[in-house]
Structure 1
Amino acid sequence: MTRCTMANPSSERGLTHIVICTLLLSAAFLSRVSYGQETGLKSSKFPPPNAIFAFGDSYLDTGNHNHSAGVNRPWLAPYGRTYPGTPTGRFSDGRVFTDVFASALQMLSPIAYERRLSDPNAPKHGMNFAVGGAGVFSSYGILNLGGQVDQFQSLLNTIYPTAFLENSVVLVGIHGNDYGAYLVKGNPISGLPMFQKLVVDEMVRQIERLNKLGFKTFYINNMQPVGCLPSSTRPTFNECNEVTDSIMSVPHNSLLETAVADLKQRLPASTFSLLDHYSAFNTVLRTPANSGLSAHPLVPCCLGEGNATRSCGEVAPNGKAMFTVCDDPKKSFFWDTIHPSQSGWTAVTKLLFPDADLEPFQSSKERQS
């Protein structure tokens, strides 16, 4: 029988001990993870993966964003209002995609890298390196995708053995920050196609790095319909901006689909599943009632004053809130002008993983921090 002794959890050496013990104790019954079709839904005959490792932007970030940064203020109220009741650094009223994705795989959401020493048992469930505002390039001065992989690599020999990674899952999500920064800097729209290829190529390069480091199972988000974000539909919030979609989301997703197909062909020993956020968003937004959402799904719950020129969570020097919040966030697909609500993410994930039972697992076993 494998025996593990206690170690001091307040250091990365102690965390290493815990992760290795988890691997040894589970080795007797863990078999190779089997997944379903393109959604990647796990077969109930097999145990879940060892852990989830997330890399990307605010759609995945569970607390790495700088406390003092001003972008959408995820560390201030009313963020976190629905769950757990206080801000946790998530860009939502509650859970973000990483959390709900973990529930779909019957797993705990991975702890944020910046909080890795706060919970001695957390690293055995993986780690989240995603940062709000990130792109594949240093678009807004935020740690980019490659920098996040660097952070993971720095832990590889101190916490995570290679065998642990082989039965773990990587979630990668890059959702448009590079393109927003490209246009804000005054670059021509005519140059977007070439830039989009650079973005997708860099995504692939970082995924290949992770594969070489030992990961075998990858879930890769495509881009949401950017033209449907409240930032694109304000001030009326009546209909999606198809022009924005046609120049940003659609070309990116086409390139990414081709790139993922190429990865599958070149690396047959690994599994690459493309999660179609674009179609899932569109389906929920067209038929919100099917998900128990408002008949006006393009209207965000938390809206800054001045036709949303202010941000959700923004407060005037005198302490006055410069935003309004809807009566029932659970009925809103969007939380703010960029990010889905917890209900929005749950609706999207139910389409990506139609056989998953999300809510009971979330309420009973999810980490709040």
Structure 2
Amino acid sequence: MAYKTFVTLMLLSLLASSALVQAPGAAPTAAPTKSPASPTPSPTKAATPPTASAQAPTVAPPVSAPTTSPPASSPSKVTAAAPTGLAPTSSPPAPLGPSAGVSAGEAAVSEGGGLKLFVFGDSYADTGNFEAVKRPGNPFNYPLGMTWPGKPAGRPSDGYVLTDILALFLNTSAPPTYSLWEKNSSAAESELKNGMNFAFGGSGALTTWENVTLSVQLRQFKQLVESMVFTPSDLQDSVAVLSSVGNDWGYFFAINNRSVVGGEDYMKKVRTSILEFLEELSEMGIKKVLTNLVITSNISVLDNHNKLLKEEIDAFAKRDCMKMVVLDYDNLLDAAKAMYDQEKGNTDDDCCRLLPQYVSNYTMFCGDKDESGNKVYTLCQDPAQYFHFSRGHLSHDGWKKMNTVFLESKILDPLRS
């Protein structure tokens, strides 16, 4: 089965419930001018070596290609180039080493004392905000975190997420989450030298299943800057990450009865929100940014969105003298998945799979139990044999393979300059 097709089917099943659980009849919210927006997640695809692309799944149900949608015309999956960064999580990841797709020399390339990562977006980048806010009494459970660090660590994976890989690439440490700062600022204080992670699983540029939109995350960031938790010099020596992989489209598709009608106008609002967000970062003094295109899932509306978004970001970066890296997840994930399958065989399934009766339940996750204490999932014997861990999120080894693609394509190199 083609990788993109697999992702599409998986997303469709996930979307079924969120439309019921979250705002059944509400219409999608338009992007406010410089007010809250929200991150989102999304699965991956497979097939050719790098250009640039990025997508992020979230804890909320992903998107899928409707049978009524026209076949996607392949967008120009080209990335644009100028640096920016991602921030890892509150606990620094263990060194990858050559076996993880990082050579000893490359793993230590970044020498930036004082580099801070300011991370925004969805579950591809979230390292604990969703867990702390949405499930305080029922945090993520084992087997999440089973590969690294050996226990749940706020990530929808058995180990790394994108933020961890980027922190390793930049030879820095993961910043604390905003939720940790809110809960116990003294506990987070020692890690502020690494920046802060505001990303929230399930969010998007506009309001989705979660209301922690990009505007909300930006407002949280500005409050810390205004109170001098972070200074202007901190922002100048930083990399910002904006992970917005697909929650906006997933939400629109769900509340629009799985119809693509109106999708072009809606995604235009998403682009407007993203560009306003980037302009705000630039005005604050941040000049390096890593962001991504959405996973298209064979939907022509998303192909067109990616094309226009790339053009608009390129023009913005040139005008504001920004270093921008735009990940094209369609191409990058295809390349990583193809390598993975060549080494391990077909790995279309998730390692941690919800039981059939829970697949369309937005509130259930890998590691959860029902009211009787029974597991709502089945678990594979070896996560390293699977590219995905659960619900469109990559496994620890899946992210390590993505790291190999990043290194071979040199797509992230501008972030080191």
**Shorter-normalised TM-score: what interval?**
0.7 to 0.9
Residues 250-293 of structure 1: CA deviation (Å, up to 9, x unaligned): 2332122112111122112x211112222110112233246x5x
Structure 1 CA distance, aligned partners of 2:133 and 2:236?
A: 36
Letter in 2 for 1:215: I
Give 1:135's match in structure 2, choosing from 204, 214, 217.
204
Letter in 2 for 1:97: L
Pairwise mapping of residues 86-165 of structure 1 onto structure 2 (< 5 A)?
86-116=151-181, 117=185, 118-157=187-226, 158-165=228-235
Q: How many residues align?
A: 297
Q: Is the 8 A contact 1:49 1:169 kept in 2?
A: no
Structure 1 CA distance, aligned partners of 2:347 and 2:381?
A: 14
Q: Is the 8 A contact 1:280 1:351 kept in 2?
A: yes
Give 1:38's match in structure 2, choosing from 62, 65, 81.
81
SS for the counterpart of 1:224 is: coil
Structure 2 CA distance, aligned partners of 1:353 and 1:48?
A: 22
SS for the counterpart of 2:325 is: strand
| Misfit runs of 4+, over 4 Å | 39-46
Structure 2 CA distance, aligned partners of 1:173 and 1:246?
A: 20
Query: Residue 280 of structure 2 corresponds to which residue in structure 1?
Result: 209
Q: CA deviation at 1:296?
A: 1.9
Q: Is the 8 A contact 2:292 2:329 kept in 1?
A: yes
Structure 2 residue runs without a partner (length 5+):
1-79, 86-105, 411-417
Q: CA deviation at 1:186?
A: 2.2
Residues 234-263 of structure 1: CA deviation (Å, up to 9, x unaligned): xxxxxxxxxxx2335423321221121111
Query: Residue 168 of structure 1 corresponds to which residue in structure 2?
Result: 238
SS for the counterpart of 2:223 is: helix
Q: Is the 8 A contact 1:219 1:272 kept in 2?
A: yes
> Relative contact order, CA 8 A, sep 6+: which one is greater?
2
Residues 133-174 of structure 1: CA deviation (Å, up to 9, x unaligned): 000112113300110010000000321110111111001110
Q: Is the 8 A contact 1:74 1:88 kept in 2?
A: no
Matched, 1:304 2:354: yes
Q: Is the 8 A contact 2:352 2:389 kept in 1?
A: yes
Letter in 2 for 1:298: D
Structure 1 residue runs without a partner (length 5+):
1-36, 228-244, 357-369
Which structure has the larger Rg over C-alpha atoms? 1
Query: Residue 25 of structure 1 corresponds to which residue in structure 2?
Result: none
Letter in 1 for 2:225: L
SS for the counterpart of 1:183 is: helix
Query: Residue 307 of structure 2 corresponds to which residue in structure 1?
Result: 254
Q: Is the 8 A contact 1:74 1:91 kept in 2?
A: no
Residues 103-143 of structure 1: CA deviation (Å, up to 9, x unaligned): 01111112111113223320110100000000011211330
Letter in 2 for 1:208: E
Query: Residue 272 of structure 1 corresponds to which residue in structure 2?
Result: 324
Matched, 1:200 2:271: yes
Distance change >3 Å, CA 45–CA 97, structure 1 → 2? closer
Determine what percentage of the aligned residue pairs are the same residue. Answer: 27
Q: CA RMSD in A?
A: 2.5
Query: Residue 22 of structure 2 corresponds to which residue in structure 1?
Result: none
